[in-house]
Structure 1
Amino acid sequence: MAGITMAGSGSGLDLETIISTFVTAEKTPKESRLNKKETNLTTELSGVGTLKAGLADFKAITGKLGNLDSFYQSKTNISYQGRDVEQTTAGGVGDSAALPITIQTKGVVPKGAFDVEVMQLAQGARLESDFLPDRETKPGQGMLYFDAGKDTFQVDVNVTDTLQQIQKKINDAPDNYGISANVISSDLGAKMVYTSDKSGKANDLTVFTSDSSLNIVSSGMKGQSATDAIITVDGNTITKDTNIFNHAVSGVTITANSLTKLNEPANFSTSTDHAAVQDLIYGFVDGYNTLMGSINELTHPETGILKFDSSARSIKQQLQSITGGVVDDANKRLNTLYGAGISLEEGGMLAVNPFGMGGSKSGDQRLNEAVNNSLDDLGKLFAGNNGIAAQVNRVLANNLGNKGMISQQENMLSENLRDIGDDRAKLDRHIASFEDTLRKKYTALDNTVTRYNATGDYIRNVLG
């Protein structure tokens, strides 16, 4: 009955003000408590979201740090006919596909320079039939056999099959190991073309048939044979059935892209990219400090949004325990962050200090020695099975997963916010009922006073 403004119209009493006052007195404290609770929950949920985002950002850093290949980054320079391409790799391929060779490195690559000539590329066979009248020609029936090296498959051709239908049968054969059939139509007629994905001289393609009627699309076809790839490295000839040479140079994979010109070899040089590894370590320190700074702000005992939250403090304690601890599986000479030049500072922060204390080596010096002289040990410290990154990633996964502490906390806060919506609806129903009850009472009072006023007026008129 909210919104009715008739109370007191008969008696002249200001009953609307009285009702409004009682309704406000009943609603305001309850609504204020809900508003405060909603504000607190929204603020806490925002803080948890900030923490979650910080953990996710740090996880991206430690994810790369936990990959051992990240510590074996190399710099490769490829030169050919005056064009130079420098690529930095960590097991990946740089942007050099337009050159005769592409270089991929893995592990610690010794410094060196090499001349490579691409004499021949590996390719699969290609066979073409003689011309037939058109693609609807039905050459005959029988079995077609396709052999390349140790691989073989067969296709059953019916007397009603056209060239197009034979093509489809070949391409759709479940045991087809890499033979593509195509029909080419020209002014002279149509021909069947077979192309093999299997490169290498030993994988030359042979097509034969069980019925002479199919000879025109099998036996005696013309084309090119499968070939091996041939390169020379500093004059040493290497032959392979693919264009990828894994062991020509230790730690280096050479991919032949195109032939080099006579007496114009492509040159590539390799060296370990120590600067990239250092950047990786500094990125870890910066990422860790950013996360710790965020946690410190969120859990500040006076102003922190999550000052009463145990999750953030627990995460901080776990991370500090990891960064200040010993990695059991690492080399004893380099099994702590301090050994790698990283010190634990006030407030839980990390630092690579440029100055030493009491004649000891500075953090910069210890890090440089680890990167330049102990790359394997540095990799074990961070990327080993129980290394710093692996331990940190376990903490982050336990908190960020669907059943993790952070996710559960987000779900709980979101549920509590939804409960406040229900509480507001209940309060609205209660206030509406409360106002309705007041109106009924004061309407009765209004009617009574109105009757008394009418009686008084009647008596005054009689006695008057």
Structure 2
Amino acid sequence: MAIGSLGAGSGMDLESLVTDMVSARRDTKVKLYQDKLAGYEAELSALGTVGSAIDNFKNYVKDLNKEELFSGRNVIMANGDETPSFSVNPDKTASTDEYSIQVTQLAKGSRLISDISSFSSRDEVVTSSGGTLTLSIGDEEFEIQVKPETTLSGLREQINAEGKDHGVSANLVNDGEGHTFFTITSNTTGAGNTLHIDSSNLTLDSAALGGFFPGMSVPEGGEAQDAYIVVDGISVRSDSNSFDDAIAGLSIEALELSQEPVKVEVTYNQDQVKETIQGFVSAYNDLIAVFKQSTARGAVLNGNSMIRNLSSSLAGELMSTHASDDSPFTSIFDVGVDLQDNGTLAFDENKFNRAVDADFDSVATLFIGPNGLAKSLDALLDNYVGPRGMNNTLKDSVNKSISDTEESLADYEERMEKYEASLRSKFTSLDTQLANMNAQGDYLNSMLNKL
């Protein structure tokens, strides 16, 4: 038997004796603390899983509780695979109806071009003395102060720099036959907004006299013009390609000319509502599955009152009537949501489509009406989620229990260290006494052997 430092004097294995005595008193109690901590950790993990499932379900409930979900509109354009000649954006006030729309004219800005004989080079000087050039578009005008010795190229750069805030730009075109054309373009659309140029306050060089600015003209098709669309046989004008008031609730943007009228159907945003309800059903089923797993026989949350109360409240809300008095539907089970024997939900798309086609507003009332399911569930789940929700309150309680148990274990370990120190002190004294007695015995034996 190996002998440690404790017992070296007596020759006894006092080290093992101390270890066994400490272990006999310590190990069982420490294991109880450790088992208790493991149970708390398992409970905390289970509450985390439950909390995540509740949060996920709450997110779908919030999506279902948004008024804009049911007030949204969808636009169907019967133009096949062709590139659309216009776009339509509805708002929640748009009526669900069908329209025939055709773009017959696009709005565009105007363009001025110099006479063919005015210039042959971009480096030609326009004016040697300078002056003022006035550009006007409809009721708006602005002036450009032209410096002496300004060339055609320099004037182009000046117009581009000073005219950009007015939607005006200039360019030079060389036809390759010795003619340079000066063009000025305005992007301001609408009839009556054709670009005009006044050079009466600008002294022109002889090369440009009677040619350049006085000779600038609007080419055929270069005038600013309105846009026209035809809505159900009615011609509608706009000074831009946007038609915000042609049909109430619809913003129409003309993109290109239509070869023929296009059928446009405005419907409720049925697909998005359907997808949101399907997500709600799926999240509810996930939540129920977590509840069952967490509270099964032998599971750490078996008998948990929070889960029991929430499960009961959810079932009660689903079974309640959330319709208005004049609704053809009494509950969500009339509009495509079915309750299964195992407590989960299923979604019947055909039943949902029939309900929406029959009365979309009543379907919406079931979820977001004054007594709607989504509103009720949203309020109910507020008691369980968030920093002050019941689930976090339970987690805080478990965390406190973990902290208290860890503190108790630390205190007990400290007491065990003191107990071991006390044993070592006592056995050290005993070892010294036994060593002295052994020494005395050895001395007496040696004396007796000499007699």
State if a TM-score over 0.5 links the two structures.
Answer: yes
Distance 2:194 2:401 in 1: 70
Structure 1 residue 333: Cα displacement? 3.0
Structure 1 residue 372: Cα displacement? 1.7
Structure 1 residue 17: Cα displacement? 1.0
Distance 1:37 1:150 in 2: 85
Alignment partner, residue 93 of structure 1? none
Alignment partner, residue 439 of structure 1? 424
Alignment partner, residue 383 of structure 2? 398
Once the two structures are superposed, residues 437-463 of structure 1 have per-residue CA deviations (whole angstroms, 9 ceiling, x without a partner) of: 222221111111111111111122222
Alignment partner, residue 324 of structure 1? 319
Q: Superposition pairs for residues 376-387 of structure 1, below 5 Å?
A: 376-387=361-372
Q: Tell me the secondary structure at the aligned position of residue 11 of structure 2.
A: coil
Residue type of the alignment partner of 1:112: E
Greater shift, 16-25 or 237-246, is seen at 237-246
Q: Is the 1:122–1:226 contact (alpha carbons within 8 Å) kept by the matching residues of 2? A: yes
Q: Is the 2:95–2:266 contact (alpha carbons within 8 Å) kept by the matching residues of 1? A: yes
Alignment partner, residue 42 of structure 2? 43
Structure with max Cα Rg? 2
Alignment partner, residue 296 of structure 1? 292
Alignment partner, residue 145 of structure 2? none
* Equivalenced residues, count: 407
Distance 2:312 2:398 in 1: 23
Over aligned residue pairs, what C-alpha RMSD do you find? 5.3
Alignment partner, residue 53 of structure 1? 52
Distance 1:433 1:321, change over 3 A: same
Identity %: 26
Distance 2:15 2:278 in 1: 71
Residue type of the alignment partner of 2:427: Y
Q: Is the 1:181–1:195 contact (alpha carbons within 8 Å) kept by the matching residues of 2? A: yes
Q: Is the 2:109–2:185 contact (alpha carbons within 8 Å) kept by the matching residues of 1? A: no
The answer as to 2:245 corresponding to 1:233 is no
Residue type of the alignment partner of 2:448: L
Q: Tell me the secondary structure at the aligned position of residue 7 of structure 1.
A: coil
Structure 1 residue runs of 5 or longer lacking an equivalent are 85-97, 128-132, 134-146, 152-163, 172-177, 185-192, 207-211, 213-221, 354-362
Structure 1 residue 376: Cα displacement? 0.8
Q: Tell me the secondary structure at the aligned position of residue 248 of structure 1.
A: strand
Alignment partner, residue 217 of structure 1? none
Distance 1:70 1:306 in 2: 37
Distance 1:295 1:248, change over 3 A: farther
Residue type of the alignment partner of 1:373: A
Alignment partner, residue 140 of structure 1? none
Alignment partner, residue 355 of structure 2? 370
Distance 1:150 1:299, change over 3 A: farther
Alignment partner, residue 450 of structure 1? 435
Structure 2 residue runs of 5 or longer lacking an equivalent are 113-122, 124-135, 141-156, 172-183, 197-201, 203-216
Alignment partner, residue 287 of structure 1? 283
Distance 1:225 1:303, change over 3 A: farther
Once the two structures are superposed, residues 258-301 of structure 1 have per-residue CA deviations (whole angstroms, 9 ceiling, x without a partner) of: 455xxx2472432647973555544433432332232233233x
Q: Is the 1:322–1:388 contact (alpha carbons within 8 Å) kept by the matching residues of 2? A: yes
Greater shift, 334-343 or 376-385, is seen at 334-343
Q: Superposition pairs for residues 285-364 of structure 1, below 5 Å?
A: 285-300=281-296, 302-327=297-322, 329=324, 331-340=326-335, 342-346=337-341, 348-351=343-346
Alignment partner, residue 62 of structure 1? 61
Alignment partner, residue 76 of structure 1? 76
Distance 1:16 1:292, change over 3 A: same
Residue type of the alignment partner of 2:98: G
Residue type of the alignment partner of 1:238: V
